[in-house]
Each structure stands twice: as structure tokens, then as C-alpha cells.
């Protein structure tokens, strides 16, 4: 099948699950409102639900996610939905799916199911000849270490060509993340300073002010390093660090991102600080002596011509001070310090800041002289904020549409997935114990020590600074 062939059906495995209820149903409803959903949706799951019960689940999901404001679109969505109940280990389940598809010949199979079932379903699709001329959409995590990722890639590639495998990382569907790629290569002023000669360090923070929220069982099997760092945050690093693509096309972008992962230096235990918020062990389905990390901070190096010697600091965690996602690219100070108040001991060096959540913004910090005879000044930000536009596509809406259209630009590929796992592989089992930290803090003090070794400190995500604000129209 060519990438131009649109899927003529969506088979949603795990239709009764949490992901479908929270993210996928609202995305399908939004597509229906825009007239972008015109194919059958075959829901598949083990529970013996009636179609009426599934319809109620869909309706409740949409109501909870923002309300129902278009009864015609809701009716259209419910009309398209069918339901198949069955065990994924039973070949008869896939026979029923085939019957429900009717004349559809190019289905997209969405695996919104536990990772332990990915290989089972993919093999079942192949055995039932449901992989021919089809696509498979796989939710993260794609493997839990290098070996399992390689094995899952092997299974997937045995049934589907690489261009028909869509590995979802919903971060890549966010407008603010897409803007990093655009901002880097649509502006000429950035390239001359975007290298080891002018960049002193890069730090990326992805913080959440809430806990695991009844996901204790999942977190016990994953932890912050697997759940957030290896996928979401590494993808942001790749967009910031990659070389310019040779041509305009997602194949070129994928190639350059994979090279970044391949150039990352494998982590050492001393490069990693793990933390666990006080009270985590009291969460449902969490071991009383659990050492699983709910916070990670790490120091990363990219051994490439552009980035050699530049430290990248990443941190993410639950129950932190606030929910935010920011990138700070700190520049080196001027080679000659003509003014005493511009020394790093007094104020930070110039920096570029990408605010990715809760809103989208780009800020440039520079020192500005105060009025008067003395040559003293303050660091101020030129802050360009992009307000969310009404009707903007959600990440899942955008990714679903792209996958069904065969557009792989916002998805991850085999070589990138395996290269990213290779970076964290040395510390998945060999690491220092977790440090306890207080909820509503910025994590354990050891994270501050990690970055201070190189003479740096974390810049806490906040817009409460001296700013010159420009709203994008």
C-alpha cells in the first residue's frame, strides 16, 4: 500500500479502556464535527458489552471532556461505531473483526491496550490476514527496555512494512512541540549561535503538580524514566539538537532525529537522580517498600560536532510545585565583561526559553541598561506568547487523522526508538536509590547538586519575571 491510501476503517482495540474514554472518543467526536470522520469504527475489547452500553460510554466521555455541542456529529459518530467482544488470544475474535469490517480493505488498527498484548494482537492480525494493506497504530510505551523494543519491532515488521507502523507519542502532536521544529529552521538568526561555541547548557523541565492518580500499578512497572524521559523528553531534545533536514519531508526529519539519539552518550548512574514523593507508597497498588521513581533528573551529552561538551539537563516529576513544560537554552557570556553587573555571579547569561505548557511562548532574555549615568542594567525578556486558538486540533485528533491518512511526520520510527532505549539501558537496573522529596517542592536536593557540579542551577518554570510581552495575532 502507498502512503497516499487513506484508511477506510478504524479498528480500536481496547475500546472499553481508560485511554479510549479520556482521549480517543473526544478526538473522534471532534473529527466528526469537522466532517473528517467518514469510515466505520470497530471497537474491540474483552468485556461482553452491548452496543448500547458502548454508545453510552462514548457519550459520557464526550460530555466529560468538554460537552456535547453538536448532536448531529454525535449521532454520526455513534452510527459509525460497531462492537466486537472477544479474547485477543482467540483466533475467532479476529474472524469477527473481519466480518465487522465488511468491504473495508485498508483498515487502521489502533492498539490502545496494555503493552503486554501488543505482540499478541499484531500476530493475530497477521494470522487473520488483517494486516494486508493495513496500518497499525501503537500506543507508548514501545517496549520497556532495548531488548523488548527490538523484539516488538521485529514482530511488527514481520506483519507490517515500516511505513505502515505508527508509534504514537502524543507530545509530538502538540502545537508547541511542532513549533520548536518550525522556529529553528524558519528563522535565520538562530543557526549561527545554535552550537557548542555559543550555547552553554540546555535544560528541559516537565513538571506536574499532581501524583500518579490511581495509576500506581502502571507506575510500579514503568517509573518516570520510562514513562516520560525516554520518549517525551528525548523527542524534544531531538528537535532541539537535530541538524537541518536535507529536504522538506518527514523522512528527512526522522533520519536527523535518529542521528541525535545515536550520538547521545549512554547514561551512567552518576548522571541520574531518582526521587519519590512522600506518600507515593500509600497509593493504590504500590509496594510498601517501592523504590520506583516519580521524579528524574539527568545530565546528558550529545557527542556530535555541533553539541560536543554541552550539557543537557532534563528533569520531570509528579507532585512538583506546578504543572509546566519549558526549555531553557542558556548562552555563554560575552568574551569580555565590560560591565561588572553583567557577570554570571550577578545575573544569568542571555537565554532563549521555549514555554510548551500550560501555554505556548518563546522568550529571549537580554540585559537592558537602566536610565542614568551608570552602566548598570537588568535582564529582561522579550516574551512572545501564542494564545490557543478556538477549534485548534488536540494532539490525539491530529495524530489519528495523520495515521489514517498515512502521514508519518509526527510519529517515531524503529531506529529512533531503539537508539533512545540504548541511551537509558545502562541505568534501567543499575542506579542509585530514590531520594524522598516533599510534594509541592521541585524534587530532591540531589537534583540541584547534579546541575551545580557544572556551575549551573535550575531555572524554575514561571512567567513571573520582568517581561516585555507581545501577543501573536
Closest by CA position to 300, among listed 267, 328, 270, 260: 267
DSSP letters, 371-387, are SSSS--EEEEEEEEEEP
Number of H-type helices and E-type strands within the chain: 15, 16
Query: Using the 8-state DSSP alphabet, how is residue 164 labeled?
Result: G
Catalytic residue among 21, 106, 109, 232: 232
Query: Using the 8-state DSSP alphabet, how is residue 441 labeled?
Result: B
User: What order of strands is seen across the sheet that includes strand 107-111?
Assistant: 81-85, 41-45, 9-13, 107-111, 135-138, 165-167
Cβ atoms within 10 A of the Cβ of 297, count? 29
Q: Are 295 and 224 in contact (CB under 8 A)?
A: yes
Q: Which residues lie below 8 Å from residue 84, measured CB to CB, with a gap of 6+?
A: 42, 43, 44, 93, 96, 97, 100
CA angle 239, 245, 186 (to 5 degrees): 70
The answer to whether residue 72 is catalytic is no
**461: phi > 0 → left, psi -120 to 50 → alpha, else beta; which?**
beta
Please give the sequence-ordered ranges of beta strands (E in DSSP) within 25-157, or none if there are none: 41-45, 81-85, 107-111, 135-138
Catalytic positions, please? Answer: 232
Amino acid at each position: 500500500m502507498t502512503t497516499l491510501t487513506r484508511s477506510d476503517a478504524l479498528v480500536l482495540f481496547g475500546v472499553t479502556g481508560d485511554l479510549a474514554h479520556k482521549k480517543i472518543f473526544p478526538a473522534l467526536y471532534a473529527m466528526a464535527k469537522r466532517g473528517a470522520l467518514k469510515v466505520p469504527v470497530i471497537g474491540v475489547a474483552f468485556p461482553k458489552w452491548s452496543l448500547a452500553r458502548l454508545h453510552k460510554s462514548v457519550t459520557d466521555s464526550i460530555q466529560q471532556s468538554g460537552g456535547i455541542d453538536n448532536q448531529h456529529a454525535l449521532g454520526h459518530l455513534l452510527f459509525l461505531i460497531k462492537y466486537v467482544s472477544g479474547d485477543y488470544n482467540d483466533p475467532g475474535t479476529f474472524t469477527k473483526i473481519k466480518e465487522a469490517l465488511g468491504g473495508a480493505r485498508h483498515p487502521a488498527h489502533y492498539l490502545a491496550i496494555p503493552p503486554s498484548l501488543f505482540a499478541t494482537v499484531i500476530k493475530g492480525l497477521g494470522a487473520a490476514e488483517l494486516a494486508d494493506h493495513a496500518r497499525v497504530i501503537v500506543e507508548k510505551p514501545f517496549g520497556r527496555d532495548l531488548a523488548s523494543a527490538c523484539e516488538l519491532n521485529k514482530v511488527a515488521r514481520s506483519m507490517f512494512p515500516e511505513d505502515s507502523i505508527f508509534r504514537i507519542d502524543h507530545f509530538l502532536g502538540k502545537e508547541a512541540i511542532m513549533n520548536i521544529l518550525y522556529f529553528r529552521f524558519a528563522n535565520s538568526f538562530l543557526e549561527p549561535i545554535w552550537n557548542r561555541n555559543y550555547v552553554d547548557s540546555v535544560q528541559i523541565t516537565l513538571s506536574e503538580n499532581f501524583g500518579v492518580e490511581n495509576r500506581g500499578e502502571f507506575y510500579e512497572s514503568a517509573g518516570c524514566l520510562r514513562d516520560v524521559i525516554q520518549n517525551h523528553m528525548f523527542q524534544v531534545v531531538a528537535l532541539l539538537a537535530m541538524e537541518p533536514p536535507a529536504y522538506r519531508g518527514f523522512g528527512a526529519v526522522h533520519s536527523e532525529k535518529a542521528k541525535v539519539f545515536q550520538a547521545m552518550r549512554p547514561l551512567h548512574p552518576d548522571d541520574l537522580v531518582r526521587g519519590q514523593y512522600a506518600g507515593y507508597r500509600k497509593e493504590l497498588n504500590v509496594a510498601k517498600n517501592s523504590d520506583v521513581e516519580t521524579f528524574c533528573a539527568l545530565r546528558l551529552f550529545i557527542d556530535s560536532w555541533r553539541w560536543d561538551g554541552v550539557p543537557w539537563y532534563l528533569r520531570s516529576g509528579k507532585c512538583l510545585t506546578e504543572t509546566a513544560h519549558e526549555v531553557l537554552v542558556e548562552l555563554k557570556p560575552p568574551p569580555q565583561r565590560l560591565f561588572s553587573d553583567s557577570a554570571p555571579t550577578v545575573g544569568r547569561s542571555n537565554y532563549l526559553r521555549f514555554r510548551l505548557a500550560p501555554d505556548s511562548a518563546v522568550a529571549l532574555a537580554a540585559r537592558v541598561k537602566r536610565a542614568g549615568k551608570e552602566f548598570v542594567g537588568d535582564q529582561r525578556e522579550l516574551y512572545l506568547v501564542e494564545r490557543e486558538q478556538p477549534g485548534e486540533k488536540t494532539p490525539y485528533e491530529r495524530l489519528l487523522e495523520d495515521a489514517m491518512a498515512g502521514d508519518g511526520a509526527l510519529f517515531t520510527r524503529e531506529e529512533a526508538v531503539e537508539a533512545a532505549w540504548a541511551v537509558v539501558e545502562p541505568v534501567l537496573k543499575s542506579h542509585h536509590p530514590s531520594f524522598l522529596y516533599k510534594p509541592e517542592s521541585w524534587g530532591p536536593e540531589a537534583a540541584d547538586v547534579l546541575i551545580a557540579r557544572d556551575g549551573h542551577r535550575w531555572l524554575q518554570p514561571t512567567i513571573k519575571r520582568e517581561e516585555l510581552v507581545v501577543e501573536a495575532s
